[in-house]
Amino acid sequence: MFPLRTIGKKHKDGLSSRRNSHREVRTSVHDVGSEVSIASVEQPPPSRQSSHHDHELHRSRTYHPFAPHVLCLLMPASIFGVLARLGLVALATYNGQSIFPLAYVQGLGCFVMGFGLEMKEPLGNFYPPLYTALTTGFCGSLTTFSSWQLDVFNSWLNSQDAHRAGLRSFMDGLGKTIFTLTISLSSVLFGSYIARVIYPFLPTLRPPTRTVRYLISILSVFIYAATLPAYFLLPASYRHQATAALLFAFPGTLTRYILSTLLNPLLLTFPLGTFAANSTGTGLLAAFHVIQSITNKPISPNGCSLIQGLDDGFCGCLTTVSTFAVEIRGLKGWERPRYILMSWGAGQLLLLIIMGPSLLSGNVRKQLVCSFT
């Protein structure tokens, strides 16, 4: 559909200069994210499009962060991110597992995030909303900060009642904390490295026409609208597994995107928007977890499915590890450990404040008691 750039003799000089200019931007894989502005990680980049009559002339097109084309494309990206997360967790959950399931989710999401960050310029030249859909929509919905915090907190509590001492519960929670940070940061670097390797060989695609852009936006809205009949028409057993989460995926992503767009520019040394989204989502997940664990007032199966959908869909998409990892790379010196400790500490503190008194009361169990049938 789109003409590809041929690599012949007349293009060798251009390809060589393209490689050299790219190396000037990223001289080492360890520099990835270090010069990224935390206020613009998820913003659609400006596109530099060639004129149809003279390929030497260029015009710039900038999409507003809240442009309809940008927001619409977040809808299917959020849905696919949630489906990928739920699928990976289900695939990695089995008897005798040696790696906690969320490790795969965080690793894959951060890998794609690093790849997309390195491809910001070519994605911007093709279709800027695609960059925001990939980073904010897909990666932000695939990775989840709130579930990571709850997983660590459940390790402290030994929620599965495993036969182990308290020190080993502490080691389990500490291990999930350190391994998640290590996997996330290294995956961002690895994804960026792979992008740098294949970048010079990518074809140049002509930007979509105005008609195609509107068709993409309309199709995106229809994809999200289809989640409502999917919830009611598909078997009831699918609701707590996936379809309920799809209903709340886009609202969670949109809330996070609004918070990061409005609040991140306020403090250049602390991503306030991402911090607010991750903290809010973790607090909500703790509250929903308490509701699902009440023993004396059982909830109906439909209610349990909707709450589970809020857990996986809204809270999972409202919070993110992929953007969190990139922002850590974008900070300098002591700003990095401060951001990590404050984000992690706020999450654990919220879980303790919300879940602690409920557990001590005896009316709430450490395991979920909600029945989906």
C-beta of residue 153 within 8 angstroms of C-beta of residue 355: yes
Residues 320-331: tens digit of each pLDDT? 999 999 999 999
pLDDT at residue 47, rounded to an integer: 66
**Res 185 pLDDT > 80:** yes
Nearest to 123 by CA among 112, 114, 113, 132: 132
Local structure of 49: helix, strand or coil: strand
**Res 3 pLDDT > 60:** no
pLDDT at residue 295, rounded to an integer: 77
Averaged pLDDT for residues 259-263: 95
pTM above 0.85, yes or no: yes
pLDDT at residue 60, rounded to an integer: 55
CB atoms within 10 A of CB 305: 24
**Res 18 pLDDT > 90:** no
The residue whose two tokens read 């004129």 is: 51
Distance CA 246, CA 316 (A): 11
Tokens of 3: 């003409």
**Res 6 pLDDT > 50:** no
CB atoms within 10 A of CB 44: 26
Averaged pLDDT for residues 202-227: 95
C-beta of residue 103 within 8 angstroms of C-beta of residue 179: yes
CA angle 309, 310, 316 (to 5 degrees): 100
Residues 43-71: tens digit of each pLDDT? 788 766 544 444 444 455 678 889 999 99
**6-20, 271-285, 351-365, range with the lowest pLDDT:** 6-20
- At 222, the pLDDT band (50, 70, 90 cuts) reads very high
Residues 6+ apart with CB under 8 A from 197: none
Share the mean pLDDT of the chain: 86
**Res 228 pLDDT > 60:** yes
**Res 216 pLDDT > 90:** yes
**Res 72 pLDDT > 80:** yes
Averaged pLDDT for residues 125-147: 96
Averaged pLDDT for residues 334-338: 95
C-beta of residue 21 within 8 angstroms of C-beta of residue 240: no
Tokens of 306: 């909707």
**Res 196 pLDDT > 60:** yes
pLDDT at residue 10, rounded to an integer: 41
Averaged pLDDT for residues 205-221: 95
- At 242, the pLDDT band (50, 70, 90 cuts) reads very high
- At 182, the pLDDT band (50, 70, 90 cuts) reads very high
